[in-house]
Amino acid sequence: MAGPTHYQLPRPEFDEAPKLLIVVAPYYRQIADDLIAGARAEIEAAGATHDLVEVPGALEVPTAIGIAERMSNFDGYVALGCVIRGETTHYETVCNDSSRALQLLGLQGLCVGNGILTVENTAQAEARADPEGQNKGGGAAAAALHLIAIARKWGKKDKGVGFTREILLAGDPGDSGTA
């Protein structure tokens, strides 16, 4: 029995190819590889480019995205990984904290697609990661691409806060330079 079908937004189009960073926690290697394959296919179908970085676990994914935002020039981010319920409350901590951190990055203006699977067992993870199945990696990439399109529609990537370099170099326009 097939599950319900879901509406998918049309793939956004770009005048200038976006550059995305895929950040993946490959704790479950095969699941991570399927998520990556789905994300790459969606990014490439949109005419975008990407880099890939691996981190130890799902909790490190938002941190890596934060570092990349401060130190690099990506338009958006795809967060990938898998958390499978175990015997302890660590599952809730990892699921809640990684999701919350990604949401906070999004609220700060980053274009983040969350593809960190939170499942009860391996079979659920495999079904969701499969690029020919639920393709949650592709869905996360699509989410990031749609957010990039919205950000480009509404304005500049970096509006800045505080002083700009030009103001600091120009000095005070009322200052004649004499004392």
Interatomic CA distance for residues 104 and 110, integer angstroms: 9
Sign of dihedral through CA atoms 162, 165, 166, 170? positive
Pair 24, 81: CB distance under 8 Å: yes
Cβ-Cβ contacts under 8 Å for 26 (sequence gap 6 or more): 32, 33, 54, 81
Catalytic residue among 6, 50, 90, 146: 90
50 is catalytic: no
Beta bridge partners of 81: 116
Beta bridge partners of 22: 52, 78
- Would you tell me how many other CB atoms lie within 10 Å of the CB of residue 30? 13
Residue indicated by tokens 């004649």 = 176
Active site residues: 90
